[in-house]
Amino acid sequence: MALYRTWLFIPGSEEKKIAKAGQLDADVILFDLEDAVAVQEKEVARERVKAALLAQAIRRHGANERANEPHYFVRVNPPDTPFFRDDVEAVAKLGITGVVLPKVEENEHVYVLEHLLDQWEADAGTRQPPIEIVPLIETARGLYHAYELAKASKRIRRLLFGSVDYALDIRATLTKQGHELLYARSHLVVASRAAGLEPPIDSVFLDVHDSAGLTEETRLARQLGFQGKLIIHPKQIAPVHDAFAPTSEERAEAESVIAAYEQSVAAGGGVILLDGKMIDLPVVERARKTLDTARSMERRKA
């Protein structure tokens, strides 16, 4: 099971931060060419990201491939900007897993990118697997169309949530409890599932110094059905990984649920009570998922 818990933004213009990418333990390195980069820096940032991707592609082909290599994604500028096409052309060839498409609101936005990637992949000969498109939902229109957007291309495997732009768009006040985001978060989880995608990825937590707040928000995202979180600082990697890991209590409970149910089935029974709580098939299924997730995370650490 591939893990997509932490998506670390690295501004494409910042050489020092880009140079760190290869040593960080995030599941995804997300180079940004969009809002973290000033307009006058767009070309320089594109060249820096290109060079970094090329270097890591060469390194990966070398003998010392690192275990737990992160996936590389790039957030390009939106299709209605003069930078979009050059951004995509610059990075598509360099071993990235996918392109993050910001401010997606209509299927047409996805089609424009899909067309470019189809063209490039056809020119280059087949490439397995195809480059993913990851729509970033960060406006009311985008959220409203989330289900259609999720189905707009076979390249889409999951959606990202951008809460800062979204709150600005709907004129909500961003708070740490996040009540104002609950509807959007749950809508994205349901739209993703209904469209047959993987669970979505939650938005950034802006207060880099508030580790407890980050943990709380990540636990909420997990509780709602997200599989990961966008992050902005290396300090945020460990708390997010921890918050997505099943706790030792959850693991112990899952193990006793499975054991009790198997015992009941072996004795010719079915649904039973364990410590006053009903256990039937979906409960067992959830317990198995909890243990699978715990094992994948243990393996990733090893």
- Closest Cα to residue 275, out of 300, 249, 297? 249
The residue whose Cβ lies closest to Mg ion is: 165
Residue located via tokens 């509807």: 183
Instruction: Tell me which stretch binds Mg ion (CB under 5 A): 50-58, 114-122, 125-133, 157-165.
Output: 157-165
Which parts of 58-157 are beta strand (E)? 71-75, 98-101, 132-137
165: partner contacted, choices ligand COA, Mg ion, none (Cβ within 5-8 A by kind): Mg ion
Pick 3 or 167: Cβ nearer Mg ion: 167
Site string for Mg ion, 130-149 (x = CB under 5 A): --------x-----------
User: Which does residue 20 bind out of Mg ion, ligand COA, none, counting CB within 5 to 8 angstroms by kind?
Assistant: ligand COA
Residue 17 binding result from ligand COA, Mg ion, none, given CB thresholds of 5 to 8 Å by partner type: ligand COA
CB of 138 to Mg ion, least distance (A): 5
Structure-block tokens of residue 84: 């979009």
Q: What are the counts of helices (DSSP H) followed by strands (DSSP E) for the chain?
A: 12, 10
What are the φ and ψ backbone dihedral angles of 117, each rounded to 5 degrees?
A: -70, -40
* Contact flag: residue 165 with Mg ion (CB under 5 A): yes
Question: Judged by CB, which is closer to ligand COA: 75, or 246?
Answer: 75
Structure tokens belonging to residue 205: 């937590």
Residue number, 165 or 242, with CB nearest to Mg ion:
165
Around Cβ 157, how many Cβ atoms within 10 Å?
18
Residue 11 binding target from ligand COA, Mg ion, none, CB below 5 to 8 Å by type = ligand COA
Residue type, 126: T
162 touches Mg ion (CB under 5 A): yes
CB atoms within 10 A of CB 70: 20
235 close to 211: Cβ distance less than 8 angstroms:
yes
Query: Of the two residues 230 and 279, which places its CB atom closer to Mg ion in the complex?
Result: 230
Of 55 and 174, which has the nearer Cβ to Mg ion?
174
Q: Sign of the C-alpha dihedral, residues 6, 10, 16, 18?
A: positive
From Mg ion, ligand COA, none, which one binds at residue 214 (CB under 5 to 8 Å depending on kind)?
Answer: none
Please check whether residue 278 is in contact with residue 260, taking contact to mean a CB–CB distance below 8 angstroms.
no
Cα–Cα dist 277/280, whole Å:
10
- The stretch among 83-91, 162-170, 246-254, 288-296 that binds Mg ion (CB under 5 A) is 162-170
Residues within the interface to ligand COA (CB under 6 A): 8-11, 16-17, 20, 32, 35-36, 204, 208, 232-234
Give the residues lining the site for Mg ion (CB under 5 A): 138, 162, 165
